[in-house]
C-alpha cells in the first residue's frame, strides 16, 4: 500500500501554488452573509407635497412624518437597523411635477447616527456636529431630532418584538455647541420588551 506524501522534492513549486490557490479559493467560498428584509422607519420631509402630518400632542401640523419602508440589510443587528434610518430616500411619484431629490430629514439636515451594543443595552448616538436645517425644511432642530428619535424607537420596537427579553436603549446627542446645547435635553432612555 503506497501513501501519498507531499514533500518539496515530490511536488513542484507550480503545483504547490495551485494547491494553495485552490485552498484559499475554498476558504473564500465559505464566507456566508445573511440578508434580512426588515422594516426601517425614517424621518421624512413632506416638502413638495400637499399634505401635513400632525405628530405631537398639541396637534401641531408638521411638514414631516415618520414612515417605514422595507430594506434588505446584512450586518450586526440591531446596530445596522439604526444606521439604516439615515439612508437616502427619494419618494417615487407618478406626477412629473414632483421633483424632490431627497426626503430623509437626516440627510437633508446633515445629522449623523450610530449604534453600539454595550453591557447595559444599546446606545444610539445622534451627531449634530454638522446640523444645518435647509430653508425648504420648515422645522426646528428640536422637531427634526424628535422625529429621528421616533424613527429609532419605532424601528427598534419592531425588531425587539419577537426577541426574548428586553432591550434598554439610550439615545445620546453629541456635537452640540453653546448655541444648540439645549438639544441635549432630548436625550432619552427607553426599555423595549420582547416576547
Whether 8 is in a domain gets the answer no
Within 10 Å of residue 65's Cβ, how many Cβ atoms? 21
Whether 21 is in a domain gets the answer no
Is the entire prediction scored with pTM above 0.85?
Answer: no
Number of domains present in the structure of the chain? 1
Whether 5 is in a domain gets the answer no
Confidence of residue 49 (pLDDT cuts 50, 70, 90): confident
Whether 150 is in a domain gets the answer yes
Pick 156 or 55 by higher pLDDT.
156
Read off the pLDDT of each residue in 105-130 and give the average, rounded to a whole number: 97
Whether the CB-CB separation of 68 and 41 falls below 8 Å is answered with yes
pLDDT at 19 over 90: no
Whether 144 is in a domain gets the answer yes
Q: How far apart are CA 73 and CA 39, in angstroms?
A: 10
Q: How far apart are CA 173 and CA 175, in angstroms?
A: 7
Whether 147 is in a domain gets the answer yes
Pick 72 or 26 by higher pLDDT.
72
Confidence of residue 55 (pLDDT cuts 50, 70, 90): low
Whether the CB-CB separation of 171 and 152 falls below 8 Å is answered with yes
Q: Which residues contact 174 (CB under 8 A, 6 or more apart)?
A: 125, 126, 127, 128, 129
What is the full DSSP assignment across 124-169?
Answer: EEEE-TT----TT----HHHHHHHHHHHHHHHHHHHHTTSSSEEEE
Whether 76 is in a domain gets the answer yes
Confidence of residue 77 (pLDDT cuts 50, 70, 90): very high
Average pLDDT taken over every residue of the chain: 87
pLDDT at 91 over 60: yes
pLDDT, position 12: 62
Q: Which domain holds residue 164?
A: 36-193
The whole-angstrom distance between residue 82's C-alpha and the CA centroid of its chain comes to 4
Whether 1 is in a domain gets the answer no
pLDDT at 2 over 80: no
Amino acid at each position: 500500500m503506497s501513501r501519498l506524501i507531499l514533500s518539496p522534492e515530490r511536488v513542484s513549486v507550480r503545483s504547490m501554488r495551485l494547491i494553495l490557490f485552490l485552498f484559499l479559493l475554498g476558504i473564500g467560498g465559505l464566507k456566508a452573509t445573511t440578508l434580512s428584509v426588515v422594516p426601517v422607519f425614517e424621518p421624512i420631509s413632506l416638502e413638495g407635497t400637499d399634505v401635513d402630518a400632525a405628530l405631537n400632542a398639541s396637534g401641531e401640523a408638521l411638514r414631516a412624518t415618520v414612515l417605514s419602508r422595507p430594506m434588505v440589510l446584512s450586518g450586526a443587528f440591531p446596530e445596522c437597523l439604526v444606521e439604516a434610518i439615515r439612508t437616502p430616500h427619494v419618494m417615487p411619484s407618478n406626477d412629473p411635477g414632483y421633483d424632490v431629490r431627497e426626503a430623509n430629514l437626516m440627510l437633508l439636515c446633515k445629522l449623523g447616527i450610530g449604534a453600539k451594543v454595550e453591557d447595559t443595552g444599546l446606545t444610539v448616538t445622534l451627531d449634530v456636529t454638522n446640523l444645518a436645517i435647509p430653508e425648504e425644511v420648515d422645522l426646528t432642530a428640536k422637531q427634526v431630532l424628535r422625529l429621528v428619535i421616533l424613527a429609532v424607537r419605532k424601528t427598534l420596537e419592531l425588531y425587539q418584538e419577537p426577541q426574548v427579553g428586553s432591550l434598554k436603549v439610550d439615545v445620546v446627542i453629541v456635537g452640540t455647541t453653546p448655541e444648540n446645547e439645549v438639544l441635549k435635553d432630548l436625550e432619552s432612555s427607553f426599555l423595549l420588551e420582547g416576547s
